[in-house]
Structure 1
Amino acid sequence: MTTTVFIDGAAGTTGLEIAARLEGRSEFALITLTDDRRKDAMARAEALNDADVVILCLPDDAAREAVGLIANDRTRVIDASTAHRVADGWTYGFPEIVGRDAVAAATRIANPGCYPTGFIALIAPLVRAGLLPVAWPYNCHAVSGYSGGGKALIDRFAREPGIAWRGYALDFGHKHVPEMQAYAHLAIAPLFAPAVVPAYRGMVVEVPLPIEIIPGAPDAARLREALAAFYAGSAVVTVAQTAPESGEIVLREGVAPWDGMRLHVIGSEDGRQARLVAELDNLGKGASGAAVQSLNLISGLPETAGLSL
């Protein structure tokens, strides 16, 4: 049976990448609106209610408005905005963390943020296993390709040549922090330090661990072992068994889309420190790839169908 899908906000970066992943897939039929109808409220409401699945690639307020226009209990929603990530009645679209069955059964799915995907992937399983404490002031340092900021940031990089690194959220108000805390099950909000670089896509998220002073924290080998066991059944998330040979992880320009995620646990020789690192594509597992993974699950299809892994 063909599933009809309407991408509301299909002209944006995330929407375009979702459409590209669905291209040529006979399991799905896209409902599209012409340019002159995309902002027509009646046309949008009709499409929202005609679709089996709606994927929202909109600003937060517009996403809330779109959900309010759905007047039936049949249409299922995947929201790529921040609007519903910690809202009651919404399932967090991270099947490796919340469970594939939970995502498959959901009618309202909140797509995770790109930075939180890396942070939660690293921390949630270890906190859940009791290997890292709930009440600890974790730091998260992360860098992303500029496409993660959407059209506004893409335009800024085009207008401001020569920028090599842009640190932001220095006012501590980044909208990703609530979901990072909630789905890692932390008592203390993490200190989050994001930045973007002049590469279009790609992301590295790091959580440094001063193991010697964290109560009950095991060594890096035990943390790596626990993560590997947690993700053993995943075709999307992998855990590196050794540290990078060069001692480096790099982001490169011009790389192809990638919907996987690679986790590292790197320990110091004396065992006193460790670095948890996640590599992902901010437009892949960090956005569009994650939405398609959830779409596959709610459609009863293999979760990796159409993904680049």
Structure 2
Amino acid sequence: MAPKVFIDGEHGTTGLQIVSRLQDRNDIDLMSMPAEQRRDADVRTKFLREADVAILCLPDDAAREAVALAADAGTRFIDASTAHRSNPDWAFGFAELSPAQAKRIAGAQFVSNPGCYSTGAIALIAPLVASGLLPVDYPVTVNAVSGYTGGGKQMIAQMEDETRDDAIRAAYFAYALTLAHKHVPEIMTHTGISRRPIFTPAVGRFAQGMLVNVPLHLNLMTGSPSMADIHAALKAHYGDGSVVEVVSLDETAGLARLDPEEMTGTDRMKLYVCGKEGAGQVNLVASLDNLGKGASGAAVQNLNLMIGA
């Protein structure tokens, strides 16, 4: 019998993307609540408890409530909210985090889907900490720009409807100016860094895609590594690059610019080591689709691991 999969919050931005990835599959039974019953708590509870896997595309409090309603029924969860990303009892849904992470996800009842910005930041930082090249107390800075779909339906409406009085007119804007973005705790938890990073996110007037930058001073790293050393550490961690590709130094050196929409429509991620050998600095860049590997694509990857697909 095909596993039953219920998307709680299927009509939101992330949920709709997950539905589009799953709706034509015949190896799962995709459950969907009738639109007129979406606000019926009893019906929702029934769906949650009958599902083999529930994917939560909800605000944090609603996600916690969903888990409380059905965890005792044996329902397995993939939570796309922030609620459980730093909880050690939940498997963090970034399969490439370590050699053992995919196996942990596959056997877990509770899986937390990473945030989009943090996916890029963790992908760049965690292997360098694990290899010993990046001290855990290094003063990390993360600068990033995302497509506006990461802001959900309200921001999408603001960006795409120029007739609205509250439409955002800027081509690009920075936010989280208090340096207290919700992704910071999970970045610290899943990279192992001990000093709170300075994280400055921004949104551009493009729908999907993102670039996450982590600039580093090499003389503040263990042994003052070269660009080649850093590239080798990332390459060794991600192997064949089937999901996370570490772009060669030669290819990167030939680029004049990086396009945040490069990976739009994919569920993969590219990592670049930028700079000039011998200059003492590098800029590490992750390029991904904020709704692909940064959200819905990651959720489906985690689902596949959990059901053995």
Q: TM-score range by the shorter chain?
A: over 0.9
Partner residue in 1 for 2:32:
32
CA distance in 2, matches of 1:269, 1:186: 25
Give 1:283 shift: 0.1
Alpha-carbon distance in structure 2 between the residues aligned to 1:172 and 1:2 = 45
Q: Secondary structure at the match of 1:36?
A: helix
Gaps of 5+ in 1: 302-309
CA contact (8 A) 1:96 1:234 kept: no
Partner of residue 226 from structure 1, selected from 220, 233, 250:
233
Provide, for residues 179-220 of structure 1, a one-character-per-residue CA deviation record: whole Å limited to 9, x for no partner.
001101001011000000010000100000111333423111
Corresponding residue number in structure 1 for 2:153 = 151
Structure 1 residue 195 corresponds to structure 2 residue 197: no
| Number of the residue aligned with 1:246 | 255
- Conserved in 2, the CA contact under 8 Å of 1:132 and 1:217? no
Which secondary structure does the structure 1 equivalent of 2:72 belong to?
coil
Q: Is the 8 A contact 2:226 2:277 kept in 1?
A: no
- How far the C-alpha of 1:131 sits from its partner, in A, is 1.0
Matched-pair contact (CA < 8 Å) for 2:227–2:277 = no
Q: Which deviates more from structure 2 when the two are superposed, residues 190-199 or residues 147-156?
A: 147-156
Q: Could you tell me which residue of structure 2 aligns to residue 12 of structure 1?
A: 12
SS at match of 2:11: coil
Give, in angstroms, the shift of residue 238 of structure 1. 0.5
Q: Is the 8 Å Cα contact of residues 54 and 78 (structure 1) preserved in structure 2?
A: yes
Once structures 1 and 2 are overlaid, which stretch shifts more, 49-58 or 211-220?
Answer: 211-220
* Residue in 1 that maps onto 2:84: 84
What is the correspondence of 1:108-147 to structure 2 with a 5 Å cutoff?
A: 108-147=110-149
Distance 1:234 1:297 in 2: 18
Structure 1 window deviating more from structure 2 (235-244 vs 150-159): it is 150-159
Partner amino acid, structure 2, of 1:59: P
Q: 1:20-50 CA distances to partner (integer Å, 9 max, x unpaired)?
A: 1112111111111111111110000000001
Q: Paired residue for 1:304? A: none
Q: Secondary structure at the match of 2:37?
A: coil
Aligned positions of 1:161-240 closer than 5 A: 162-240=169-247
1:194 & 1:171 partners in 2: Cα distance?
Answer: 11
Q: TM-score, normalised by structure 2?
A: 0.93
Give the alignment's TM-score, normalised by structure 1: 0.93
- Partners of 1:218 and 1:85 lie apart in 2 by 31
Q: Quick one: which amino acid aligns to residue 4 of structure 1? A: K
The separation in 1 between residues aligned to 2:58 and 2:253, in whole angstroms, is 37
Cα distance in 1 between the residues matched to 2:111 and 2:209: 24
Does 2:280 match 1:272?
Answer: yes
Unaligned runs of 5+ in 2: none
- CA shift, 1:266, in A, is 1.5
The aligned residue for residue 106 of structure 1 is 108
2:254 maps to amino acid? E
Residue type of the alignment partner of 1:174 = H
After the TM superposition, which residues 49-68 of structure 1 pair with which residues of structure 2 at under 5 Å, given as runs?
49-68=49-68
Equivalent residues of 2:23, 2:30 under 8 A apart: no
What is the aligned partner in structure 1 of residue 292 from structure 2? 284
Q: Is the 8 A contact 2:124 2:284 kept in 1?
A: yes
> Alignment identity in percent?
49
Q: Secondary structure at the match of 1:274?
A: strand
Structure 2 CA distance for aligned equivalents of residues 73 and 271 of structure 1:
57
Residue pair 2:139, 2:197 contacting (<8 A) in 1 also? yes
What number of residue pairs does the alignment pair up? 300
Report the Cα distance in structure 2 between the residues aligned to 1:179 and 1:223, rounded to whole angstroms: 23
Q: Quick one: distance in 2 between partners of 1:69 and 1:151?
A: 26
Q: What amino acid is aligned across from residue 156 of structure 1 in structure 2?
A: Q
Within 2, Cα distance between the matches of 1:230 and 1:209?
19
Q: CA RMSD in A?
A: 1.5
Distance of 1:232 and 1:299 partners within structure 2: 24
8 Å Cα contact 2:143-2:214 kept in structure 1: yes
Question: Quick one: structure 1 residues 294 and 71, their matched pair in 2 at CA, closer, same or farther if it must change by over 3 Å?
Answer: closer
Output the amino acid matched with 1:45.
T
Aligned match of 2:265 in 252, 257, 269?
A: 257
- SS of structure 2 residue aligned to 1:118: helix
Give the whole-Å Cα distance in 2 for the aligned partners of 1:193 and 1:207: 11
Q: Distance in 2 between matches of 1:142 and 1:209?
A: 15
Residue 22 of structure 1 is matched in structure 2 by 22
Measured in 2, the distance between the counterparts of 1:180 and 1:249 equals 23
Distance 1:233 1:213 in 2: 30
Instruction: Output the amino acid matched with 2:211.
Output: V
